[in-house]
Structure 1
C-alpha cells in the first residue's frame, strides 16, 4: 500500500491559457514520468516506485493522488488471484501519449552520452522506438531485447496498452535485438532499421510481414 499523501492545495498558474492549464495538471515533477510508466498498462505502486528511481514514496503517493483527482489515473483492485491494487490511466491520461512522444523527440539529442549517475530501464526506449516504427507505416507487435532487458511495443491498431515490459504476451510479429545506443539513434530518426540490420547493429528475426519490413526497410 502506498503511504498516505499529505493534503496540499493544488498549485495553479491562474492563467486563462491552454498551455498553463495543461501544466497545472501535469507540470509537477515526476507526473509525466508516471504517465510514461502507466502507458505500459496497470501498475502496482511498488512497481512504479521501482521503475522511477529517485522519487520518494511521499512524492509518488502525492502525485498519484493528484492524478486521480485530476482524472488522469484511477486506482482499482485486481480480481483474484492477484487481489492487488493497481493504478492505470484514464482515457484522458492516455491522451498524453503524443505529448510524451514529442518530449522524447525533443530530448533525444541530450542522450548523446550516458552519464555515470544515469539510471536506465529497457522499456524507457519503447516510446521513441514505437514512434519511429509508426512513422514508417508498419503495424504489429515487436519484441525488443537490449542488454538492459526486454520490452515489447504495439505499432498501429487501437490497443490501449502501447508497450510493455518483458516478452510480448502474444506471439510477436518480429523480434529485434540491439543495444541502447542504437535504440536512441532509431528514436532520433538518424538511423533506419534496415541500415542498422545491414550494419550488424540490429538483429531481426521472424517470418511475418513486420519482420520482413524491418529487415528490408519496405
Structure 2
C-alpha cells in the first residue's frame, strides 16, 4: 500500500560546500553526517580517499561503500550494473580504464558488504514517494542541466561553472534531493558546488538532469529511521 505523503516536505541538512572540482559526492555524504563524524571524515579525508581506492575519481558505488562505513542505511538504484563500457573515450570519463576494475569489483562484492544494488529506472513519482516517506536522495545529474528557479538562474551560473571546471557538455555532478513542493511541482535540493542554500527545480527539469546520457540514472535512496 502506498503511504500518504504530505504536499510539502523539507529534510533539514547542514550544508557542506565542496572544496575541489571532483568531491561533490563526498560533500553530499558530509551533509548527512553528524558533527563528530563529519570532523573525523575531514581529518582523515585524504586517507579515506586512498583507502577506498578512488583518489579523485569517485563513482556512485564508491559513495555506497562510504555510506555503509558510516552506518547510513541506503539503496543504490542504477540502469547499468558495473562500469558502463559505453562511457569509454568520453571526456568526462577520462579515467575510465583506471577505474573500471575497481568499480566492477565493488559492484560484484556489494552484496557481501551489505550494500543493496538494484538495476532499475525510477519515476519522478517514485522519488517524491521516497522523500515523503523515508528521507533524502543522492542523485547523479548532468551539471549543465542544473539550475535554480528560486534564484532565477536558468543557466549554469558562473559560480558553478568555475567551481566544477565545466568544459564538456556532460559533467557528472551529485546533489541531494531534500524535499519537494507538490503545489508548485518542484523538487528542493542542495548543490554542494554552491553556498548554503536550498535550490528549487521543476520535477520535469530534474528528470532531464538525472536521466541525461552519462548518469546511468544513478540514485542513492537514503533511509532516516526517524521518519
Same fold per TM (> 0.5)?
A: no
- TM (norm. structure 2) is 0.28
- TM (norm. structure 1) is 0.28
Higher helix proportion: 1
